[in-house]
A and B are shown apart, each in its own frame.
Chain A
């Protein structure tokens, strides 16, 4: 059991019950940028572990 009570959070909008209803495509360039940032931060750690 988890002692801490859940924090209040807004529920989803029932009119948008599929991911298509709450997502918008990102330009590929921005996706690449996010992935590059993640890799810059964490891939170095992976290499050190190997």
Chain B
């Protein structure tokens, strides 16, 4: 038997803390297909594998994970309204990691089936059993390391903000300066561009900051950052007129 994907467990914990019910993540013996079952316990023809954007053979976050949760609203109208809001967000193109929703968003309406692969504004009637007091919500197996924040919005904790900052910094460090990225229709030299910016930002605090930035850039350039055509020699000090 597979294990519950931690992201789905976290979403379930949010839901339970709001008063909702946990109707399960990992399927019991009666579940022989679909997202409540681990990928490595299913044939490659299972729809929960074939419908994944990366295909039936992964890579998946973890082949042992069950990636769907059954979130019970227990016929409570306040909780059910939150399920309606999730369906609205899905049909509005949000939460790309969520691929499937089966639920009854209104007490007097049928159970609906929504799947991302049908088109985000497409709904069908669900003709199976249950799903009247709970909604089944599936994550793509390849994206089940991504929180959807179904119930509590996407406010980040300080730890999550640090994690995001570190990931962003890592991404930035992988970027290399390319000439095509430099919007320079008049073919100004790099030295002139720095001179012009320096002149515009002539207030001392900004000037000093820029001088420090330039010093840092110089250090980086000395370390061998690739720059097409080389860099013009530094011929002026901040605030001074650049020699011809």
B56 close to chain A: CB less than 8 A:
no
B22: which of A4, A13, A34 is its contact (CB, 8 Å)?
Answer: A4
Q: Judge whether A10 and B23 touch: CB under 8 Å.
A: no
B115 close to chain A: CB less than 8 A:
yes
Total interface residues in chain B, CB < 8 Å: 45
B122: which of A6, A12, A31, A41 is its contact (CB, 8 Å)?
Answer: A31
In the complex, what residues of B have CB within 8 A of residue A39's CB?
A: 88
Q: Nearest residue in B to A37 (C-beta to C-beta)?
A: B106
In the complex, what residues of A have CB within 8 A of residue B216's CB?
A: none
In the complex, what residues of A have CB within 8 A of residue B30's CB?
A: 10-12, 14
Inter-chain contact count A-B, CB under 8 Å? 101
Q: Judge whether A38 and B125 touch: CB under 8 Å.
A: no
Q: Judge whether B130 and A10 touch: CB under 8 Å.
A: yes
Mostly helix, strand, loop or mixed at chain A's interface? loop
- Binary per-residue interface labels of chain B (35-55) against chain A in the complex, 1 for a CB within 8 Å, 0 otherwise: 000000000001100000000
CB of B80, distance to nearest CB on chain A (Å):
12
Interface size class of A (residues with CB under 8 A): 20 to 34
CB of A12, distance to nearest CB on chain B (Å):
6
A38 to B25, CA, bound (A): 27
Q: Judge whether A23 and B84 touch: CB under 8 Å.
A: no
- Binary per-residue interface labels of chain B (114-142) against chain A in the complex, 1 for a CB within 8 Å, 0 otherwise: 01000001111111111000100000000
Q: Which residues of A contact B (CB under 8 A)?
A: 1-7, 9-14, 16-19, 22-26, 30-31, 34-35, 37-39, 41-43
Q: What are 8 residue pairs bridging A and B, where the CB atoms are less than 8 Å apart in the complex?
A: A10-B130, A17-B46, A17-B47, A19-B113, A19-B115, A22-B113, A23-B113, A23-B125
